[in-house]
Amino acid sequence: MLATCTLEQIAIAKMTIKTDSTSNAIVIAVSKGRIFKQALPLLAKIGIEPLDDPDKSRKLVLSTSDPEVNLLIIRATDVPTYVEYGAAHLGIAGKDVLMEYDGRDFYEPLDLGIACCRLMVAGVDGADQIPSRPRIATKYSRTARDYFASQGIQAEIIKLYGSMELAPLVGLADCIVDLVDTGSTLKANGLVALETICEISSRLIVNKAAMKTRHARVSSIVSSLRNAVETRDG
Q: Structural domain boundaries of the chain?
A: 7-115+201-233, 117-198
Which CATH superfamily, name and number, covers 117-198? Answer: Periplasmic binding protein-like II (3.40.190.10)
CB-based contact 63:51 (threshold 8 Å): yes
- Residue 6 pLDDT class (50, 70, 90 cuts): low
Q: According to the model, what pLDDT value does residue 1 have?
A: 41
Q: Do domains 7-115+201-233 and 117-198 have the same CATH topology?
A: yes
C-alpha 144/C-alpha 192 separation (Å) is 17
Give the CA distances from residue 4 to residues 41, 100, 166, 195, 228, in Å, rounded to whole numbers and listed in that order. 28, 12, 24, 28, 31
Q: What is the pTM of this model?
A: 0.86
On whether the 7-115+201-233 domain is CATH 3.40.50.2000, my answer is: no
C-alpha 182/C-alpha 52 separation (Å) is 32
Question: Phi and psi (nearest 5°) for 23?
Answer: -65, -20
In the chain, what percentage of residues exceed pLDDT 70?
89
Res 18 pLDDT > 80 = no
Res 78 pLDDT > 80 = yes
Res 3 pLDDT > 50 = no
Tell me the residue type at 174: D
